[in-house]
Amino acid sequence: MAKVYKSIGGRKLTKILALNEGVQAELEARTFEIAVRAEEILVQHRADGHAEIVVEEGDVDKYVILSDDRGQKAAMSIEYGREASVIVRKDKHGTEYLDVMPAMDGLYVLATAANLPKKRKGKVKVD
């Protein structure tokens, strides 16, 4: 019977496997493919928005991110959509006015690019 060790030389076996050169090369290739597909999908829908696709690297993993840090910080609404809402705002003189945000269907940029199921993540609030 084979014996499976949880660690080798003090390092977890899963991390040793994840850091394997072949595994990291495949992860790099798949991350690149997903990022390219996500960018293609986003470009089809971009009018004048600031959203962008960003790839970040962790210690082991790589991440494809839909970022809207430069714009309205609406990445979650872009991905999953939003319900219609009315927001009361005040101008610099203290006058209140209503700002209506129409409902929007999600684009599912990351889900589509990664071939994942398109699931709405509960209620999406827009402030």
Residues 66-105 have pLDDT tens digits of 999 877 788 998 999 989 989 888 888 989 988 888 898 9
Domain containing residue 27: 7-112
Say yes or no to pLDDT of 127 above 50. Answer: no
Count: domains in the chain: 1
In a domain, 117, yes or no: no
Q: What value does the mean pLDDT take over residues 8-24? A: 89
What are the tens digits of pLDDT across the range 28-57? 999 999 999 999 999 998 766 789 999 999
Phi, psi of 62 (to 5 degrees): -125, 145
Sign of the dihedral through C-alpha 82, 103, 69, 112: positive
In a domain, 127, yes or no: no
